Each structure stands twice: as structure tokens, then as C-alpha cells.
Structure 1
Amino acid sequence: MKSTEQTRLGRDFWVDYGGEGMDGRALLLVAIGGALGAVARYLTTTILPIDSHWSTLAINLTGSLLLGIIAGGLHGSGMISDEMLILLGTGILGAFTTMSTFSLDLVKLIDEAQWITAILYLGSTALIGPILALIGWKCTSMILAP
């Protein structure tokens, strides 16, 4: 039997990440989604005929737009469940997009003294990503509004 502290911590975790009764299902959904997202990321970077930092930018911007559509529009309107949000958002898009690769690509550009490219890469990721997430969120919400 779990202690009160373990139960409270576990309950708080699951309530924060999808509601009551998620238990191991949430972890399984994240794992499945993460595997799919990682494969999609790998295939995308091998298919795109552009330098690595620009493919990372394309992936992260696409992921931002999709997350806005999924979290704001579809989940916000009740069209997809908490479980589907965990699978698609945390799992697939969490593995598909990446902050670590963005950071490493930026460091490489700076190390190679590609200052203009580094500034454009940083600015476009920091500004356009959130704008695309907002566009996805608002457009999907408007389309699905009664």
C-alpha cells in the first residue's frame, strides 16, 4: 500500500497532466508518441535537402503551429481528449521538436562566426514559433466555434 505522501504526489502529478485516472496510460501514451515523433523527426531531417539548422527551424516552427492547433483548437474545443493531447502534444510533438538541437545549432553558427545567420536563426525561432502557435490556436478555435 502506498504512503499518504506517495499517493498525494502521484495524484497531483496525474491531475496536472491529464486528470484523474490517467495513471500508467499517460506514460504509455507519451512513450508511444515519443517513439513516433522521434522517427518522424529523423525522417524529416534526412529528407529535407537543407542545412541542419534550417531543418531544425522548419521542424520547430511546424511543431509550434501543430501544437497550437492541437492544444488550443482541438483540445480547447473538446474535439480531442486529454489522452489524445498527451499522445499528440507531449509525445509526438515533444519528440519531433527540440530545444537542444536548436541550441547546439546556434552555438555552431556562433562558433563559425556566422553572426547574421545566428541572429536570424535565433530571432526566427523565438518570434515566429510562438506566433505560429498562436495562429494555429486561434484559427482552429475560430473554425470550430459554434
Structure 2
Amino acid sequence: MNYLLVGIGGGIGSLLRYYLGVFTHSWWDYDFPLGTLIINLIGCFALGWLTTYIIKLKLLHPHILAGIGTGLIGSFTTFSTFSVETVTLIQHRLWSMAFLYVVLSLFGGLLMSWLGYQVGKRAASKFQEKGEQAS
């Protein structure tokens, strides 16, 4: 069952990444790979939130969590595309753009993961407080 849910999540995540990339390219016609940056930052936030809020509250079965975390979010984000786009920027001698892309991806990803964690932590605390008040 776990494999099936990871596979389904992977299919959904890769399609979401593809469509968001197409959408971004329809209005962003510059060398800077904004689509991949946005996708990876969203994925960092989502995984930070998921691993804090959903897992802490045990709202979903571990197989479903694997489908969402590893399958959907794992296939939505993309380190390989980030790497190829960085190398392409370097090959075109766009050094400052490549440096900016790496810095924004690294520190932006860490920031978004931390923000996702913080949002999940606060939401979990509020959820647990409501449960204790209802008891």
C-alpha cells in the first residue's frame, strides 16, 4: 500500500511541478529560473509544515504521510533541475545570476522550511489546546 500511495503522490507532485513551471514561463521570460525557485520554496515550506503539524498530531496514517511527503512533495520539488539550471547559467557566464540563484535556493529553502515548521508548531499547539479545553 505504501508504494502505491508514494507512486500516486509522485504522479500528482510531478504534474503540479510541470503545470506551475508552464504557468511561470508564460509570464516570466528571463534567464533567471524563477519557476524552479518558487516550486522548491513552496515544497520546503510544505514539508516543514507537514513534518511538524500532521505528523505530530497523528491525523493521518503513516502510509498516507509517506505518499504526501516522499511522493507528492518529493516529486514536486527538484534538486536536479536546480542543479542543471545553475550549470546552464554558469555556462552562459551569468555568474551573478547563478550565485543569486544558489543563495536564494539555499537560504530561501532553509527559511521556508523553518517557517513551515513554525506555522505547524503553532497550529499543532492550538489544536491540542482546543482538544484539552473540550475534555
Do the structures match in fold with TM over 0.5?
yes
Shift of 1:135: 1.1
CA contact (8 A) 1:37 1:95 kept: yes
Cα deviations by residue, 1:93-136 (Å, 9 ceiling, x for unpaired)? 11111000000000000011111111110001111102111111
Q: Structure 1 regions of 5+ residues with no counterpart?
A: 1-24
Shift of 1:57: 0.4
Q: Which residue of structure 1 lines up, in the alignment, with residue 62 of structure 2?
A: 82
CA contact (8 A) 1:75 1:81 kept: no
Q: Does structure 1 residue 44 correspond to structure 2 residue 24?
A: no
- Distance in 2 (CA, whole Å) between partners of 1:71 and 1:90 is 11
Q: Does structure 1 residue 120 correspond to structure 2 residue 100?
A: yes
Q: Which residue of structure 1 lines up, in the alignment, with residue 3 of structure 2?
A: 27
User: Which moves more between the two structures, 130-139 or 117-126?
Assistant: 130-139
Q: Structure 2 regions of 5+ residues with no counterpart?
A: 129-135
- Distance in 1 (CA, whole Å) between partners of 2:52 and 2:13 is 20
Q: CA RMSD in A?
A: 1.3
Q: 1:57-76 to 2 correspondence within 5 Å?
A: 57-76=37-56
CA contact (8 A) 1:73 1:136 kept: no
Amino acid at match of 1:39: L
How many residues are matched?
A: 122
- Distance in 2 (CA, whole Å) between partners of 1:79 and 1:140 is 13
Q: Which residue of structure 2 lines up, in the alignment, with residue 142 of structure 1?
A: 122
- Distance in 2 (CA, whole Å) between partners of 1:143 and 1:34 is 26
TM-score normalised over the length of structure 2:
0.85
Report the structure, 1 or 2, having the larger helix content.
Answer: 2
State the secondary structure of the residue aligned to 1:93.
helix
**Using CA pairs below 8 Å that are at least 6 residues apart, which structure has the higher relative contact order?**
2
TM-score normalised over the length of structure 1:
0.79
